[in-house]
Amino acid sequence: MNLLVLGLQWGDEGKGKAIDFLAGNFNVVVRYQGGHNAGHTIYYKGKKVILHLLPSGIFTNNTISIIAQGVVINPIQLVKEIKNISLMGISTDKLIVSMNAPVILPFHQKLDIIFENSRYLKIGTTKRGIGPAYEDLVGRRAVFIRDLIDKDKFYKRVKPLNDYYSKLIRSYDGEEVSINSYIDEYLESGVFLKKHSKNTTYLLNELYMEGKSILFEGAQGVLLDVNQGTYPYVTSSNTCVGGVFTGTGLPHKAVEKVIGISKAYTTRVGEGPFPTELFEEESDFLREKGNEFGSTTGRPRRVGWLDLVALKYSVMINGVNSVFVTKLDIFDEFDEIKVVTDYEINGEQNQIFDPSIDYLNEVEPVFKSFPGWKKSICNVKTFDDLPEKTKYYIKFIENYIKTPVEYISVGTQREQTINR
């Protein structure tokens, strides 16, 4: 069965751990959107490893890892990641990179910084050049991995873009990026990546037709989707289920099951509405317990109680079959745990998550409280062995979103996962 794993919140839900836990059951793991703004955290032999571009299945033996054409690639970052995990003894022989994936260039990062600093509404981007690279793709100006592995073609494609954006950068009083400052390093990365580069659309369809099992690894989260998320505080790609098909070239039938990842609470990095956000001492306590600091940026994440209204919306628009709840163990010491069951606006309550920022900035969350279980669940192996108060919390979530919680993470390690 082919499976899609996607984040149901604003990213950072623990997709890396979930995919690492599940990947051993699949022949292929595919990244299909986003770029190195993603940060998927894996614990390999007790060591924390953060992947920005490589599929999390890279740590699973005999699994083919594919970066599909929907991903925008910084080739310098990708080569660095490949070399780093090779030093850990991890084979990259089965890593495939789409030759049709767009390339992030140094001026994209410069533009990302300029655009962010010049916005009336700050987005809080990672400033990695992701947005401008996708803009070039939509604007039909993109440079691709296939160009990168051809020296003459790469220079001819990049030079006009570099000249064009240099003028734009100068108009903002910025320091333009010289093509000579990066051309050699990029071409070296092209030589390195050539052996990994293929037409992944045909490859994936061949694997699909052969009956190979495929695990699709989403980046960011549903509420950051450029069409369905809290626009303009969103990422630059489709993080919902539809992104799989545009990002891989596979038919809709290729996804047979969707698992959504949700923390037991809610976090957000960057700007944008956040109805359940906590402040001061409450937020500090939850942030420290959950180690809520961005794996990509290092920024402290905004934290809040679990928003079931938002979660139900994410489940609905993606046809989620089951949910993987992460970081449940963070609540082990809490006296009280809360969830949001309704929004109140203009004196009326509803269960509608409208991603409009005007709407979300006006709603008042309505909370339901649960008593904490006040004991460690880190070593619990089965759902039945969880404290009754913990099981009640999970069952309440299931009943509200009308979707079963199939997996529960009670710690950072792969084996600290309950499969119901």
DSSP string, 69-125: TTB-B-HHHHHHHHHHHHHTT---TTEEEETTSBBP-HHHHHHHHHHHHH-SS----
Cα dihedral across residues 68, 69, 70, 75: positive or negative: positive
Under 8 Å between Cβ of 31 and 55: yes
Euclidean distance between CA atoms 192 and 197, whole angstroms: 10
Q: How far apart are CA 320 and CA 190, in angstroms?
A: 38
354 is catalytic: no
Rounded alpha-carbon distances, angstroms, from residue 307 to 174, 241, 390: 41, 21, 17
How far is the C-alpha of 418 from the C-alpha of 322, rounded, in Å? 14
Is 352 in a helix, a strand, or coil? coil
User: Which is catalytic among the residues 12, 147, 307, 342?
Assistant: 12
> How far is CA 350 from each of CA 115, 254, 345, 401, rounded to the nearest angstrom?
37, 35, 8, 14
Q: Is 40 a catalytic residue?
A: yes
Q: What is the DSSP letter of 355?
A: -
Residue 34: left (phi > 0), alpha (psi -120 to 50), or beta?
left
Helices and strands in the chain, H and E counts = 13, 18
Q: Which residue has the tokens 């919390």?
A: 393
Catalytic residue among 20, 36, 40, 108: 40
Euclidean distance between the first and final Cα of the chain, in Å?
A: 18
Residues acting as catalytic residues: 12, 40
